[in-house]
Structure 1
């Protein structure tokens, strides 16, 4: 056991600190409506972050992650007492240095996604869309998060009743090779087509959902919806 721990530390110089930062970061991204996912997807996303973000030994990156974690913790505290709008206003001052001073660092890029979720919760949809779009433009830094960003962007357009724009985001998720959030994208597309009055496309997408996810907990609800159409 001791030898195994030693080898791990040789590989990841400060593993406990690294895993704590990565785990908290991923959990917060999901919490702030970039998207809720299953335990398996969450595990894969954590692995992606651990393998893709290397801030150990990088002083500026480390400082940026500290600021990000503090901003998230303060947001949580204010959110519990005063709600999302007040928490969002306070977070704006704390996240600004991350956007300005650490824009090219992993923490700065990820702060943009986290803050987009905060903007969504506060009803500032225009800011959320701008931030999500910026994250897509910078997707090369973390391609594994593309479905999360597209999902957040799709939900924001949906909240604005910009149904065509929302549909494009979820269609992109479905057409992609990454299985992350595809099940959710099918359901959102079904809802969007229903609201657009495109009943044939709604029935088509929901039928594909049933075929591809026969064990989903939502299959019964979807079948009932199709039967009553």
Structure 2
């Protein structure tokens, strides 16, 4: 037997589910108005903070990059009418300000490598080592940059005549699978071993360089040395 359709009177007596739910929601909103305002305010504040941090971070990164460019330009200009030591003295405060204000920015991280090179060229091996050591942590996951930093550390310790430490860093480059700056590392290891009195190891490095990188810029010089 077919079920009879509900009459209009019956329908009017049955509560509309949507209206009932809406009514409950409105009632909850009225009784918890302050709580809702607080929660909404917190969420909006968090969103505003995130947006602001991103904008500031981007703006600060640009400022840091601009300051690094200015410092490098100032250093280059100083080299035109002075020596590396004088040029170094002229830009010390510029780089110090960059590291103090924008230490975590990518531009400052790259600036540490640049300032390490500038320090090394001025004969300040200790500052160069400090900069390169910090940069090594910053770029440990980037082989090309990592090798540049390791090479810088090798040269800086060689400048202090601390040959075992210097050898340690060039060996890290030569043992890596990435060939970036590897020929230079082998060449440096050869003369460092010689300087440390280990002639056989030095000769071995020269031979490895010619075997692995026969067309390198060091090739003719090494061949002449080996044949002599």
TM over 0.5: yes
Tell whether the 8 Å contact from 1:106 to 1:141 is kept in structure 2 after alignment.
Answer: no
Q: Which runs of 5+ in 1 are unaligned?
A: 1-54
Q: In the aligned structure 2, how far is the partner of 1:62 from the partner of 1:141?
A: 23
Q: For residue 109 of structure 1, what is the aligned residue in structure 2?
A: 109
**Higher RCO, Cα 8 Å, sep 6+:** 1
Q: In the aligned structure 2, how far is the partner of 1:173 from the partner of 1:135?
A: 16
CA shift for structure 1 position 144: 3.4
Tell whether the 8 Å contact from 2:84 to 2:122 is kept in structure 1 after alignment.
Answer: yes
Larger radius of gyration: 2
Q: In the aligned structure 2, how far is the partner of 1:66 from the partner of 1:156?
A: 28
Q: Does 1:204 align with 2:204?
A: yes
The TM-score with structure 2 as length reference comes to: 0.72
**Count of residues paired in the alignment:** 173
Q: In the aligned structure 2, how far is the partner of 1:209 from the partner of 1:183?
A: 6
The TM-score with structure 1 as length reference comes to: 0.71
Q: For residue 155 of structure 2, what is the aligned residue in structure 1?
A: 155
Q: Which runs of 5+ in 2 are unaligned?
A: 1-54
Moved more, 151-160 or 136-145: 136-145
State how 1:109-148 maps to structure 2 within 5 Å.
109-140=109-140, 142-148=142-148
Closer, same or farther: CA 144–224 of 1 in aligned 2, 3 Å: closer
What is the alpha-carbon root mean square deviation over aligned residues? 1.8
- CA shift digits 1:11-35 (9 cap, x unpaired): xxxxxxxxxxxxxxxxxxxxxxxxx
SS of alignment partner, residue 103 of structure 1: coil
Q: For residue 66 of structure 1, what is the aligned residue in structure 2?
A: 66
State how 1:34-113 maps to structure 2 within 5 Å.
58-113=58-113
CA shift for structure 1 position 96: 1.2
Q: In the aligned structure 1, how far is the partner of 2:58 from the partner of 2:171?
A: 38
Tell whether the 8 Å contact from 2:140 to 2:146 is kept in structure 1 after alignment.
Answer: no
Q: For residue 11 of structure 1, what is the aligned residue in structure 2?
A: none
Q: For residue 227 of structure 1, what is the aligned residue in structure 2?
A: 227
CA shift for structure 1 position 224: 2.9
CA shift for structure 1 position 142: 4.7
CA shift for structure 1 position 205: 1.2
- CA shift digits 1:106-146 (9 cap, x unpaired): 01111111111111111111111111111112224755300
Closer, same or farther: CA 140–226 of 1 in aligned 2, 3 Å: closer
